A = this chain, B = another copy of it.
Amino acid sequence: MNEFPLIQWIRNRQKKSKNVICGIGDDCAVINTSKDKLCLITTDMLVDGTHFDLKKHQVADVGRKAIACSISDIASMGCKPTVAVISICFPHGTKNSFAKKLYAGIWAIANKYNVDIVGGDIISGKCPFCINVTMLGKDEGLRPIYRSGAKAGDQILATGKLGGSLLGKHMLFEPRLNESLTLNKNFTIHAMIDISDGLTADLNHILEESDVGAILSEDNIPISADALRMSKKTGQTPLHHALSDGEDYELLVVLPKIQAKKVLTSRLFPKGIFSCIGEIVENHGIWLRNANGKLRRIRAEGYKHS
């Protein structure tokens, strides 16, 4: 089953009342909970053997990742996480020590980002280990940043380096919450997303929601050392990995040219954290521009879990 057409199918049929500011179709749902306050909610399910592998990964890192993914979703809206609920299915025969290690990882990162775990559901099942995190966030007077605000002429920034996250970063990434809040407080941001499916796949979410296209500059894509290492394993180019690999959990930021310039030179951020990787254009699709200025259209390829 392909999930994207299904989500679209669901979205087209979903009832939406006036208090739902943003339902299915963005990183978080936004609900008006009072006249002056927005409540954000996001949910993520991770399953052993699919999103991590307990034969290779520490269970504390799995707990950490489950929380970090949700923080990253709320960060991608430019808002602040507040509370989370966690559902866990333990396979029959799981030991208590396993659960305690899991929660050690959960608490370490939750406390770091001031997220309260306020409830959950713990079950035993005939099932691999599975964890679901639902997290709420608040706007704190800031406007949530949606996928739908990109405009032709805007520039596209990305944080960090991309690709090859399966070699380690996908378990240990730091969600870009501080950068996101600083962006939202101090700059005009038109659209934002976190890179979970892959650079081109997530960019494509913005393009579809905003009804625009994009040109990426081949030479400006920030390629990680792990993308290079990965490339030696797979025979694909490092660029391919930076464009297509998932789970980097970096921010993809779309903003007016003059704002982009300000962000790139701002002392509010660690030096070199942002790369300007391209621009928004009217024509639909994603193009890659090489050093000679030649354009070739590329597909929005996303990382799929096996």
Contacts and interface: CB of A to CB of B under 8 A. Distances in A.
Interface residues of A, number: 73
Contacts of A7: 122
A88 to B, nearest CB: 8
A49 B125 contact: yes
B126 A50 contact: yes
A136 to B, nearest CB: 7
Nearest to A27: B119
A91 to B, nearest CB: 9
A284 interface: no
A89 B3 CA distance: 11
A6 B41 contact: no
Nearest to A31: B83
Interface stretch (A17-25, A169-177, A256-264): A17-25
Interface string A119-148: 111111111101010101010000000000
A229 interface: no
A83 B119 contact: no
Given A34-B37, A87-B43, A136-B41, A14 B124 contact: no
Contacts of A43: 85-87, 119-121, 132, 134
A16 interface: yes
Contacts of A95: 1
Contact of A127 (B3, B44, B82, B128): B128
Interface of A: 1, 3, 5-7, 9-10, 13-17, 19-20, 22-24, 26, 28-29, 31, 33-34, 36-37, 39, 41-45, 47, 49-51, 82-83, 85-90, 93-96, 99-100, 103, 107, 110-111, 114, 116-128, 130, 132, 134, 136, 138, 305
